Amino acid sequence: MIHILAVDDDARMLDFTGRELREAGYQTILASSGDEALRRLEAERVDLAVVDVMMPGIDGFELTKMIREMYGIPVILLTARHHIEDKERGFSAGSDDYIVKPFEAKELLFRVKAVLRRVHGSDETLTAGDLVIDRRSYEIRIGGKKLIIPLKEFELLTLLAAHPGQAFSRDQIIERVWGFDYEGDEQTVNVHIKRLRSRLQHSEVEIVTVRGIGYKLEVMQ
């Protein structure tokens, strides 16, 4: 279970942030000030902090700096639009990412996932032909050209590229990429494979359909 500390002096924002994170399956710890956040950090295990910039007392930048120095855990800053120029400050304070308010729950969850992946994920790169998969930045390069592709496509491609030539069935793919509890059908896999194929058109790799089994990735000679 991942523990996320949310810090905001605005009770309603804190409530919103907390609820969204809980619903997404994270354990949340809420604090309405920098001081309270520091007290909670002393007592509890925290994997990631989501911190609002504008707070009375210890502000978000200061708090971020302290959290990074004392606990070394990743921090996502929530900032108002006119604070964008403070971005530099945010990063120098050690925040791993920032979100401009007002934001949608979806954006928050995407960023949380991205930061956690960056921290806990493996940082190796995979290479197949002229295709390079960077598992840290979640980007791929085809013949040196950088391409950012949707997450599920990325994971699907990673799965296939990690074992070139090995065929995976649609069920295996769903299990590995979407998870056990995924309720979608095999059609989803087809759509993603189709999209990946069009993206890999000008590369040296090809996703080949293995009749009756599923798909495999091949490097063309």
Partner 1 sequence: MNLYVKFIWFTFTTMLLSSLIGFLVMNVYYDLNLKDANNDKNMRILIEVAEQLESGSGQPAETLNLLGDAGYQFYLTGNGRSEFYGGEYREQSLSDDVISSVLNDEQYHGISEFPRSAFITGFFANELRNTVGVPVTIEGADYALFMRPDIGLLFQELHWLFAGLAGGIILLSFLLMMIVARLLTRPIVQLTEAAEQMERESFDQPLKVKRRDEIGRLAERFTAMRTQIARSIQKREEFVHNVSHDIQSPLHKIQSTLSLLEKETLTESERQHYYGMIRGEAAQISSLTKQLLILASFNEEESLSEQVEVSTQLTAIIERLRYLFDENGLAVAADLEHATVRGNGVLLQSVWENLLTNAIKYSHGGGLVEVICRAEKDHVEVIIKDEGIGMTEAQVAQAFDRFYRADEARSEQGSGLGLSIVKEIIDLHSGTVRIESETSQGTTVKVRL
If the CB atoms of residues 34 and 90 are measured against partner 1, the closer one turns out to be 90
Q: Residues 136-165: x/- map of binding to partner 1 (CB under 8 A)? A: ---------xxxxxxx-x------------
Residues within window 181-210 making contact with partner 1, judged by CB under 8 A: 191, 194-195, 198-199
* Contacts of range 32-41, beta carbons closer than 8 Å, 24 or more positions apart: 32/7, 32/8, 33/7, 33/9, 33/57, 33/58, 34/7, 34/58, 34/59, 34/62, 34/63, 36/7, 37/5, 37/7, 37/63, 37/67, 38/63, 38/66, 40/5, 41/5, 41/67, 41/70, 41/71
Neighbouring CB atoms inside 10 A of 52's CB total 23
Judged by CB under 8 A, the chain residues 61 through 120 that form the site for partner 1 are 81-82, 84-85, 87, 99-100, 102, 106-107, 110-111, 114
Q: Judged by CB, which is closer to partner 1: 44, or 107?
A: 107
- Shortest CB 199 distance to partner 1, Å: 6
Q: Is 111 exposed, middle or buried (0-12, 13-18, 19+ CB in 10 A)?
A: middle
What residues numbered 14-53 form the site for partner 1, per CB under 8 A?
A: none
**Closer Cβ to partner 1, 41 or 157, answer by number:** 157
Residue closer to partner 1 (CB basis): 70 or 147: 147
Question: Based on CB atoms, which residue is closest to partner 1, 87 or 176?
Answer: 87
CA distance linking residue 104 with residue 111, whole number of Å: 11
Q: Give the nearer residue to partner 1 in terms of CB position, either 70 or 191.
A: 191
Q: How far is the CB of 4 from partner 1 (least distance, A)?
A: 17
Both tokens assigned to 184: 């979608």
Report whether the peptide linkage leading into residue 102 is cis, meaning its omega lies within 30 degrees of zero.
Answer: yes
By the criterion CB under 8 A, which residues form the site for partner 1? 81-82, 84-85, 87, 99-100, 102, 106-107, 110-111, 114, 145-151, 153, 191, 194-195, 198-199
